[in-house]
Structure 1
Amino acid sequence: MLRGIYTTASGLGVNQARLDLLANNLANASTSGYKADNLIQKPFSELLLIARQEDRTVPVDPGWRYVGVNNQGAAVTQTITSLAPGTLKQTGRNTDVALADAATFLVVQTPAGDRYTRDGRLDLDNQGYLVDSRGNRVLGEAGPIQVGRRDFQINDAGEIVLPGQGVVARLQVVTFANLDQVSKTGDNYFTAPAGAAQPAANPAVRQGYLEGSNVDPAASMVQLISVARSYEMNQRILQVEDQLLELAVNRVGALR
């Protein structure tokens, strides 16, 4: 019975993690450049009901037989992020940009260091620097980009052109040979090992567009309902296990 309680509790933990992940995906379904997370789970290490005797110096009863394995529930192994592209939507805003290549990222200067993002909702701060939606400065090939005015143009190569001045900067757009090196750090930012990011040969920048989230709201809602029901079922099983344990303690061993 205790084994059943522990197994059921592990199922509750996994379902809680899945609920939190799906809720976060749904909450960011309208966040520009957001990439959906997926949870990977697997059974706990399978435990032998009777342990194998690998050490031949330990006496083993001649009647010992291997009787199989017992699964002790489930566990979360990792969370992976889908980097599939979202749909590009035209906004008409001069400061909005999208990257047509799904393997490329903008580079942003944050207090924690340089980070990568697909969120192209840009703006200008009070000093005329190009910043992202969280107020962090967007990096160009020569550092933070100070344009000072809003009537700029950005071409497909990521070059920022001001009327009468020509090209004043170029967005730093990077790519990765192996997207498995890219991991989320929160706030719609990504990080990667040093040296993994390389300049994109074809930035494919689209001014006046934003990349939508790659979350499928309908599918996520169906999964959320399914996981919620699974969670409720685990709760009921846990209650039954608790009742059986109470019976075992208070009645089975009672003297009559």
Structure 2
Amino acid sequence: MIKGLYTSAMGMLMQEASLAITTNNLANVNTTGYKKEKITFEEFPNILEQRINDTKIADGQKFYKAPRVGRMGTGVILDRVTTDHQEGSMSSTGNATDFMIHGKSYFALQTPDGIQFTKDGQFHVNSDGYLTNKQGFRVLGYRGVKPTSPMISEDGTPATWLNPIKISTPLGLTVDVNGQMYKDNQTISQSLLSVSFKDTNQIEKVGHNNYKRISGEVLVNKKDEISQGYLEKSNINIVNEMVNMIKISRAYESNSKILTGIDELLGKAVNQIGTLR
């Protein structure tokens, strides 16, 4: 019975964790390029149950083992929180410095904490003429022919060809699907960089809708296209998240009732059954 207390309590804690993820997804439903998070659980180790009176060694059986009744689950624990990198839908803005990058490629940013990556292509030109994101981080690009070497090597060393994009003014700026930039229909030496990863597990969220590399090479994108004048919406389905929230609420309520029921039974065991008469 005591085990049931812990099992139901763990169930309530895990539903609280699920609710935190779901509410965060709902809060970011209108965040450009936001990727929803998913939470997964794993079963807590089972306990091997044996018959109570069979723990004694039977007569004449020195190596006797108590028969197994079976295994009893002891609840669940948090496994991990993952990011769903499925592409969101397109939203037309018509702004020259708004970009959507398709597929599982990302824009690269120069930040005080090193190079970071984002799907949010809502950029602007700052007072120094650099293309920056909402936090003021400079957007990275390259000059000349598209590089074939990794942007960041296996050991974490950034490429020497990286350059922050400087365009002075967005007037007359156009960018093709490969990131090549033009000013008044004339090719300029800079291009907007898009990068990709062999595995999305190589990156993790760091806040402000940005990601950082945790392992592996960062490759120059060769296939995913860039759309100027568009932004990528979040990939959150508000209806699914609301349904999920209701399911979480019901599961939490069920665990709470189980916990209350066990508490009442324990109270009776102590106050009634255990009373000497």
Give the TM-score normalised by the residue count of structure 2. Answer: 0.83
Matches within 5 A, 1:97-246: 97-100=99-102, 102-141=103-142, 142-151=162-171, 152-163=173-184, 166-246=187-267
Q: Which residue of 1 aligns with 2:7?
A: 7
CA deviation vs aligned residue, 1:172-218 (integer Å, no higher than 9, x gap)? 21112223323322321222345421001235111100011111111
Aligned pair count reads 249
Query: Which runs of at least 4 in structure 1 moved beyond 4 Å after TM superposition?
Result: none
Q: Does residue 95 of the first structure (1) align with residue 97 of the second (2)?
A: yes
* RMSD, matched Cα: 2.2
Distance 2:114 2:221 in 1: 20
Q: Out of 62, 82, 85, which is 2:84 matched to?
A: 82
Specify the code of the residue in structure 1 equivalent to 2:111: T
Specify the code of the residue in structure 2 equivalent to 1:41: F
Q: Which residue of 2 aligns with 1:56?
A: none
Specify the code of the residue in structure 1 equivalent to 2:127: N
Native 8 Å contact 1:162 1:168 kept in 2: no
Aligned-pair distance for 1:63? 5.6
SS in 2 for 1:67: strand
Q: Which residue of 2 aligns with 1:30?
A: 30
Distance 2:62 2:174 in 1: 80
In percent, how many aligned pairs have the same letter? 32
Q: Which residue of 2 aligns with 1:20?
A: 20
CA deviation vs aligned residue, 1:220-241 (integer Å, no higher than 9, x gap)? 1111111111111211221222
Aligned-pair distance for 1:69? 0.8
Measured at CA, do residues 164 and 29 of structure 1 come closer, stay the same or move farther in structure 2, by a change above 3 Å? closer
Specify the code of the residue in structure 2 equivalent to 1:89: S
User: Structure 2: which 5+ residue stretches go unaligned?
Assistant: 52-60, 143-161
Specify the code of the residue in structure 1 equivalent to 2:219: Q
Aligned-pair distance for 1:246? 2.0
Give the TM-score normalised by the residue count of structure 1. Answer: 0.89
Distance 1:164 1:35 in 2: 34
